[in-house]
Structures are given as C-alpha cells and as structure tokens.
C-alpha cells in the first residue's frame, strides 16, 4: 500500500505553532502573524500569499483589521468567514483595553481620562461624542453616547445632556469626541460646543473637568492647552488633579 502523502502546509502550520509556543508572538513578522490569524478562518492550505495580499492592499496590520467588510471581500481569497474573523479583532481589543481599567476607573487626571478615551475609539469608523459621567470622587459611572456622526455644537441638546447627568448621578463629567482625520486641533465648533456644555452644567451645579479630542495621531485637552479659559465667557473648564474626596 502506498504511503499517504504528507501535507506540507500542515507541517508548516505546526512549525509556526511551535515557534509561537517557544518564542512568542513577538518573534513573528507582520505577514507571519496575519498568516497565523488566517488559520482560524481557512482550515487548510497556505495562507501566506493571502497575508501578503492583504498587507499590500491595506498597507499595515492595523489597516487590515480596521478594514470594512466589503473592502475585505474585494481581496482575492477573502470570503465571508475570513472577513468576519478579521473584523472581530478591533472590537475585541477595545473590550480588552477597557476591561483592563476595571468597571469604574478613577478618571481624576488628564492622563487617566485620555487613556480611557483612547480605548473607547479603538476601531472607530465614525465620530462619536461621549459624556463620561463620574461620581464625586471621579470614578466612572457610565460613558454615555450623546451623538454619533458629525460632531458639532448643533448636536448638543441641553435636555439630553441634563438627562444623562441625572440618570447616572454624575457630579463631574468629561466631554470626549474623536476626529477621524489625523488632526486633533479643536475647531471653532468644538469651542462653541464646550461653551454650550459648560453653561448647561453650571446651571445644575455639575463640574466639567475637561473636553478631550482624540485622533490617531494624539489628543487635545482643553485644560492642558491653557488658552481655552480666555476663550470661554462663562466660567472655566478645570480639572481637580488627583481629586480625592
């Protein structure tokens, strides 16, 4: 009886798995890591060419994992199962990052607030405006979505803002939104939105600790800028750094 031919791809996959066990994922190049990820959607065959095609199409692993479903399907060799797998990584990373901070992280400094805000926007494909509702000790109670889509002062409705504050019993809040472009500089509309929120919160004796703008290239803090208080006409935006009550 003739011997059953050995599957070279199976041997390659086993060598890859052994390499990861012995040396960790950091030992892999980008195309090798992507090749390994594809094993879970493509049970047999060589996934190396597809990994290279994906990187050539999107430019980097981060762009591959952020790609839209239809865009992924246009790459030769990508089917619904593979596209769905690749699209699951960004949401999983977001959940992982947020869960590492706990259910009620203390956001009483700009650094802590920025770290939390960056996690909120992992994989974001649209602008989202959040109101981070904090208790008197600046522990997070809820990251409430105020609007999705183009963010400007027109999307802030005082009634909705007050409802969210009262619903979650917030004494302190942080306004957060993202820019899909690489720029994180505030626009005139961003300044006007901050002013509008500040006026509304002052009326109900709730503290606005900051307004953060997050982009892929960094962040902007109205507090750290130091100039915003000269722009606003109604009070000031201010952190109580390391506030302890």
Q: Which tens digits make up the pLDDT trace of 39-85?
A: 999 998 999 999 999 999 999 999 999 999 999 999 999 999 999 99
**Cβ atoms of residues 122 and 93 within 8 Å:** yes
For the chain, the structural domain boundaries read 8-87, 95-231
**Cβ atoms of residues 223 and 239 within 8 Å:** yes
Per-residue pLDDT tens over the stretch 183-220? 888 888 888 888 888 889 989 999 999 999 999 889 99
Give the sheet arrangement for strand 128-134, strand by strand. 140-148, 128-134, 172-178, 207-215, 218-221
**Cβ atoms of residues 220 and 183 within 8 Å:** no
For the domain bounded by 95-231, which CATH number is listed?
Answer: 3.40.140.10
Q: Which helix (H) or strand (E) holds 219?
A: strand 218-221
pTM assigned to the model: 0.81
The superfamily CATH assigns to domain 8-87 is 5' to 3' exonuclease, C-terminal subdomain (1.10.150.20)
Does residue 243 register a pLDDT over 50?
no
Share of the chain above pLDDT 90, in %: 65
Q: For residue 242, what pLDDT is reported?
A: 43
């Amino acid at each position: 009886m003739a011997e059953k031919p050995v599957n070279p791809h199976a041997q390659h996959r086993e060598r890859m798995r052994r390499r990861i066990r012995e040396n960790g994922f950091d030992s892999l190049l980008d195309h090798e890591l992507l090749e390994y990820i594809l094993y879970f959607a493509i049970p047999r065959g060589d996934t190396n060419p597809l990994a290279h095609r994906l990187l050539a199409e999107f430019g980097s692993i981060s762009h591959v994992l952020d790609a839209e479903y239809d865009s992924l399907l246009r790459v030769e060799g990508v089917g619904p199962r593979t596209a769905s797998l690749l699209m699951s990584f960004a949401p999983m990373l977001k959940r992982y990052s947020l869960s590492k901070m706990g259910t009620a992280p203390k956001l009483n400094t700009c650094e802590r607030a920025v770290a939390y805000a960056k996690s909120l926007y992992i994989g974001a494909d649209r602008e989202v405006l959040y109101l981070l509702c904090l208790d008197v000790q600046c522990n997070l109670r809820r990251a409430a979505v105020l609007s999705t889509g183009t963010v400007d002062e027109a999307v802030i409705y005082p009634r909705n803002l007050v409802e969210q504050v009262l619903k979650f019993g917030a004494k302190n809040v942080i306004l957060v939104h993202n820019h899909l472009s690489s720029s994180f500089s505030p626009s005139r509309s961003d300044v006007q939105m901050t002013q509008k929120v500040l006026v509304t919160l002052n009326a109900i004796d709730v503290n606005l600790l900051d307004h953060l703008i997050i982009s892929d290239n960094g962040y902007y803090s109205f507090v750290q800028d130091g100039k915003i208080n000269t722009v606003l006409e109604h009070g000031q935006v201010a952190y109580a750094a390391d506030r302890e009550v």
